[in-house]
Amino acid sequence: MLNNSQYIEKLRSSGLRPTKQRIKICEVLFNTEKTFHFTINELVKKISKSTNDKISLATVYNTIHAFKNKGYLKEIPINSDQSYFDTNTSHHHHFYDESQRDLIDIDEADVEPVKIYTRIPGKKIKSVEVLVKVEDDKS
């Protein structure tokens, strides 16, 4: 929930030029009460609903990748024909309802911290992500 000048500052401070496309995308992504999940396709629709100046698809992809690299977005590891992103960059996990193709946050407090008793020599852990797949309970 920031205003434009704060997005401009945020972009500039991370070495991204605050273009009007990037500011608009910031608004769509971050000017919300709650965080949310999205695919590029859904984001494009959301953008076009909220502005008359269309943003090209390539720019959306570029911007999302830039934001992901800067840590403003997380990509959610999931088997899907398209990539899912999350505006919630805090440490948390997900339910995935494959039938509805619906992603739901699992609050960090609702998952016992995952302990891993083995390591890969020479590598350090970057992230630990839990994906809980659910299906309709017909019992």
**Binding to DNA (CB under 7 A): which residues in 49-88?**
53-59, 61-63, 65, 81-83
For the bound state, the minimum distance from the C-beta of residue 1 to DNA, rounded and expressed in Å, comes to 22
> Strands, E, within 1-77: which ranges?
37-38, 74-76
For the bound state, the minimum distance from the C-beta of residue 69 to DNA, rounded and expressed in Å, comes to 11
For the bound state, the minimum distance from the C-beta of residue 11 to DNA, rounded and expressed in Å, comes to 8
Which is it for the CA torsion 57, 58, 62, 65, positive or negative? positive
For the bound state, the minimum distance from the C-beta of residue 57 to DNA, rounded and expressed in Å, comes to 5
Phi, psi at 68, each rounded to 5°: -65, -45
- 2 counts as binding DNA under rule CB under 7 A: no
H, E, C per residue of 68-100: HHHCCCEEECCCCCCCEEECCCCCCEEEEECCC
- Cβ atoms of residues 67 and 19 within 8 Å: no
Which of a second copy, DNA, none does residue 132 bind to, with CB < 5 to 8 Å depending on kind? a second copy
- 91 counts as binding a second copy under rule CB under 8 A: no
Return residues touching DNA (CB under 7 A): 12, 15-22, 39-41, 53-59, 61-63, 65, 81-83
